[in-house]
Each structure stands twice: as C-alpha cells, then as structure tokens.
Structure 1
C-alpha cells in the first residue's frame, strides 16, 4: 500500500482485509457482530482495524444490521431538573462515556409533559434508537407502558414500579440504605426522627420511606413524615411543616441531598443548629453533599457503576438477552451534619 495515498484517504474494509489476510466478507461479519467468524480471524481483523485506523461507516452499518447504533437517555422529568439535580448529569455523563468506549452515540430525550411524552414515543418507536435508558420512572407514567407495549428494549434506573417483571433495572438498595441512615441517627441518641420523602410514585420515594418505617418499627409516627419531590424547595417546605407540627424533632432524613439542602436552609433561618439541635441526613452523595454547610451525612450511590451497568444491560437486551435486575449497596458517608 502506498503510504502517501493511505495517509490522505480514509482506510476501507479492503485495507483491513488485506492487513488481516482475510476476505472482505469476514471483515464485514466482524464489524457487524462477529457471527460465524473464528476467534483467530476475529482477532486478526480487530488487530488490523487498530493498525489501519479504520472506522466503520455507521450509516451503512445501520442499513445492514437494522440498528441505529445509538441509545436514548430518557429523563421523565421537567427540563429544569436536568440541571438542578446533579444526579441526572452524573448519570448522563457516565452513560455517554460508556457508549463512547463502544463507538456508539447517546441521545438525550426529556419527557416532562404529555406532548413531550407523545413525541418521544413516536421517536423511539420509529427506530431512531436501539433502546432506552429510562431515568426517574414514575409508576403512573403512560410512557413506560408505551415502551413496553412497543417492545422497545428498556432498562430503568431504579426498580420500575408496576413493571419490574417487564423491564430490566439497575438500582441501589433503597430500603437498606434508608434503614442504615435511620439506624445511624438513632445510634447518636436521636429519638424523634422525621423524614422528607420523595414522590411516592417513584422507587426512591416509596422504598426509602419503607426503609425509614421499617427501621423505626413501633416508634414510627406519621406526624414526622412529610412528602417532597426531590427539589430543594420541597425540602425547605417540608422542614417548615415539620417544625410547626412537631417542634421537638431532633433529626431529619431527607430522601435526596437537594431536599436536605433545603431543610438545612430552613433550620438555619429558624435559629436551630445542625447537628446540635437537629441532625440531618440525605441520600445520593452526588457532589452537592460535601459543599453544604455543614457538610451533609448521606448515603452514597455509585452513579458511575450504575450508568455503566445500565448501558451494558441494555446492549445485552438489544442483542436478545432477557432483562434482569441488578441491585447495588448504598454506602453511608459520615460528615458533620449528623
């Protein structure tokens, strides 16, 4: 091969075949999934691809395989939460990195309104993506029903309530994490422990509340429970309600770090010291927790592992594997707030 010419033009399958000592058909089969290719030939082709710098024409490849070579990162929340809640951006970055390593594309879709849900359903149903990474699923969201009905390969972040037997998932152990946080607060001598829950139609909202209730056992008191929506504003509103309703509260478990941040602001405004008067614990450890004043004790979610596992699972499902459920432990991170 003329090196001057090869430096000027993009390497082709013919170049890879010549370098590997195999037919162009063998190279094509390796590129499009490796079926009916011996391990020796596959290794030779992969080595030749690296040596020549060949990159597949993804449009042509999609015509052959019937796949788009892309996945959707689908957030079923209002747009502003993509930027307000750091957990979403961390998951997005991790998924993008995992796909980039595979030479694939991640497409961001947000469906926070009925019109957006309809548009997304049409888009993914038309085959523009090979599968969906579903973020922040809600039990009453008709979009999840649509994905299941259309047979769109889908993997959820968190157990998809009402669809656990139809959709794969990657999650932390929500109940065990909540129990560990409440046990930590009790071990510090706190006896009047409140909680600010997430939305009860989400797995985190429902299961973290169940963990809180289970750990308290007979000490559970409904007066110490208020409901939020994972935002700082709802955490602040919930903390105000708690202080008015049960002013003797001496600890608060917020089901997200953002809600804990809102609670901290209210406690400071109302002249209460953290943790001296009221201890505060959160859930996520997305980076925000360490920057709060005081730094927040929280349950760490391994977001990088979660997003990587979601991508790997979804690609398996796209390839025909059955859906599964993976549960990872949450880890208590002790800081000054509790």
Structure 2
C-alpha cells in the first residue's frame, strides 16, 4: 500500500541522489552531467551509471540559466505556410537536418517566417531563445539575412543569401551549372528556341539557374529572350506556362527552374495542343519524387537536398562546439537525370 505521508518514493530522482549513488560530491555530479569539465574518467563513469540506474533527467530549464544554452536550434523558413507544407524540398531539408542534430541531442524548432514577419523572427532569434539557426529559402527583402549576418548567433544558410553571403556559412548547389546542364541538354537534342520559366528574381536559386540558361544559349549563338518568371509552385508554373505560350508561340523546348513549376506547366502545354517531348521538350530542376509522377516523367536536374541539409546541420553543430564558421561555401554538384519529357 502506498504511504501517502511519504510521497518522495514516487518523485523524480534528484541530483543529490545521483551524487550519493555515484560516491561523488553534488558539484562533481553536476559537472559530469553538464559536459564533464574537470571531472575524472572514473567519476564520469560512476555518475553515468547512477543516472542510468535512477532514471535521472537533468532540469534543462535550470541548467540553461547557468550555461546560457537552450539545447535547441531553429530551422527558419521565410515562406507562407502553404508553401512549406506543399513543397517536397522542405521535407527533404527536415530529413537531412534532423540526423546530425539528433546525434548531438539538440532539439529542432521549426520557425515559418510568414511574409511581413521577418523582423519579429529576427528579434526572436537574436534574443537568445535558440543556440543557433539554419535558414533556408530566403529572399532579397528578408531582414533575417541581414540581422543574423551581424549577430553572434551560429548560423548556416542553405542556399546563398543575397545579403551577407560573403561572410556567412553557406551550403548550396551549383545552380548556374545546373541551369547550364539543363539547357545544353535541350540544345543537344536539336532544339533551337529554348525558353525558360525562371524562379523568383529575389532568390539566389532563381537568379543563378537563369544565368546558367542564358550562358548556355549565348555560347550556342541562340536567342536568350524567351523568359517568364514563376514562384517555385505548381500554380505559378501553370500561370507562367500560359504566358510563355502566348508571348513565345514558337518555343520548342523549356527549361523550368523547379519540378513543382514543371508539374504545373505540363498540363498547360497539353491543353494548348503541344506534345511533350515531340513538340516541346521540357527539363525541370530538383529531381524530387514528383518527377516520376508526371506524364511523361520529367527530365530534371538533381539538387541533393537531403545531403545539403545534412551538411548544414553538421556545420551548425561544429560551430556550437566552438569551431569557427567555414569561410568558403560547401557546394554540391548538380546532375542531369534524363526521362521521358526530354
């Protein structure tokens, strides 16, 4: 029968109990649990055994008052909610980032900085609520880039920021090379009126993929004027495809700067009576799972999102452990994957 007068038998174990079981002082037990500074290997082993035997859980809130660490990091996405939930790119980022953070016992906090909320997000990040941040899908007007570039918060950007990118730790893919690969493939198929549905002009990925498209056409002596911009969404790709066909009816190939936009564009080409690839060859970008569900399956450029995100997580963990940020970007090489659309 439970003794109601002595409820301590069911209470959580205390640090004092851990110290007593391990045969060390309370301060030694505390140092062992919080990193092992000035603790002998024998004492560390005894404290670890006591913690395991008692089922002791450190009070993170109390510990953070001493260490000024939260043991959490933020994944910051300056996009609308619906974009984050519908784009497989962000699922890949979460997948890749989670692995190195889990190994370091860090909690991941997802922050969706909706349009108009960048300043509030920047204040939150700089106020000490997290130990570090990974920022992805940032735009030219986001104040998050500028705010973090001038702070002491360990930060990694997935994708080159347009502001502060010279000094920030960056993980990216060679988007210029990817745009060139896609366009050179279309030219190699004998296409001579190669258009593009470009990404947003306020993002480095949109700018760089467009630059690669333009460079390949210029080198081939072909016109590089058939450009319509989209927003990396299915609906944006559909709208851009309708505009492209209206403005440039003679196109025989299109490089589309994301698989999502390509998925929106393909039905519009079919609706206009343009067969893919017979009349118009199409190349996308990302090599997401979506590329194998379109009709025809999508020729596309690989962006290794999971590997990039994993590298970003490893870089942030290294910074949190005291290493200086990498001074040069980590760049992943794109690859062309040929399927039925081109």
Q: CA deviation at 1:113?
A: 2.2
Return the match for 1:330 from 322, 327, 334: 334
Match in the other structure for 1:177: 178
TM-score (norm: length of structure 2) = 0.86
Return the match for 2:59 from 57, 64, 70: 57
Q: CA deviation at 1:155?
A: 1.0
Asked if structure 1 preserves the Cα contact closer than 8 Å seen for 2:217 and 2:224, the reply is no
Q: For residues 181 and 40 of structure 2, what CA distance do their matches in structure 1 show?
A: 50
Q: For residues 60 and 49 of structure 2, what CA distance do their matches in structure 1 show?
A: 20
Asked if structure 1 preserves the Cα contact closer than 8 Å seen for 2:192 and 2:222, the reply is no
2:121 pairs with 1:117: no
Q: For residues 250 and 262 of structure 2, what CA distance do their matches in structure 1 show?
A: 18
Q: Describe the SS at the equivalent of 1:127.
A: coil
Q: How does 1:146-225 map to 2 (within 5 A)?
A: 146-218=147-219, 219-225=221-227
Q: Describe the SS at the equivalent of 2:130.
A: coil
Match in the other structure for 2:233: 231
Q: For residues 156 and 58 of structure 2, what CA distance do their matches in structure 1 show?
A: 27
Moved more, 8-17 or 93-102: 8-17
Q: CA deviation at 1:216?
A: 2.1
Match in the other structure for 1:251: 253
Q: For residues 15 and 177 of structure 2, what CA distance do their matches in structure 1 show?
A: 52
Asked if structure 1 preserves the Cα contact closer than 8 Å seen for 2:195 and 2:224, the reply is no
2:77 pairs with 1:75: yes
Q: Describe the SS at the equivalent of 1:107.
A: strand
Q: CA deviation at 1:58?
A: 1.9
Moved more, 119-128 or 89-98: 89-98
Superposed CA deviations along residues 75-119 of structure 1, whole A, max 9, x for unmatched, are: 1112211112221122124324443333221111122222x2232
Q: Describe the SS at the equivalent of 1:315.
A: helix
Q: For residues 290 and 59 of structure 2, what CA distance do their matches in structure 1 show?
A: 41
Moved more, 168-177 or 14-23: 14-23
Q: CA deviation at 1:151?
A: 2.9
Q: For residues 47 and 178 of structure 2, what CA distance do their matches in structure 1 show?
A: 47
Q: For residues 8 and 334 of structure 1, what CA distance do their matches in structure 2 show?
A: 63
Which runs of 5 or more structure 1 residues have no equivalent in the other structure?
A: 1-6
1:247–1:154 distance in 2 versus 1, CA, 3 Å: same
1:124–1:248 distance in 2 versus 1, CA, 3 Å: same
Superposed CA deviations along residues 291-316 of structure 1, whole A, max 9, x for unmatched, are: 11111111222222222211221222
Aligned CA-pair RMSD: 2.8
Q: CA deviation at 1:24?
A: 5.4
TM-score (norm: length of structure 1) = 0.87
Q: For residues 75 and 94 of structure 2, what CA distance do their matches in structure 1 show?
A: 7
1:176–1:8 distance in 2 versus 1, CA, 3 Å: farther
Q: Describe the SS at the equivalent of 2:164.
A: coil
Moved more, 35-44 or 326-335: 35-44
Structure whose CA Rg is larger: 2
Q: For residues 183 and 248 of structure 2, what CA distance do their matches in structure 1 show?
A: 18
Moved more, 237-246 or 62-71: 237-246
1:268–1:69 distance in 2 versus 1, CA, 3 Å: same
Aligned positions, number: 333
Match in the other structure for 1:305: 307
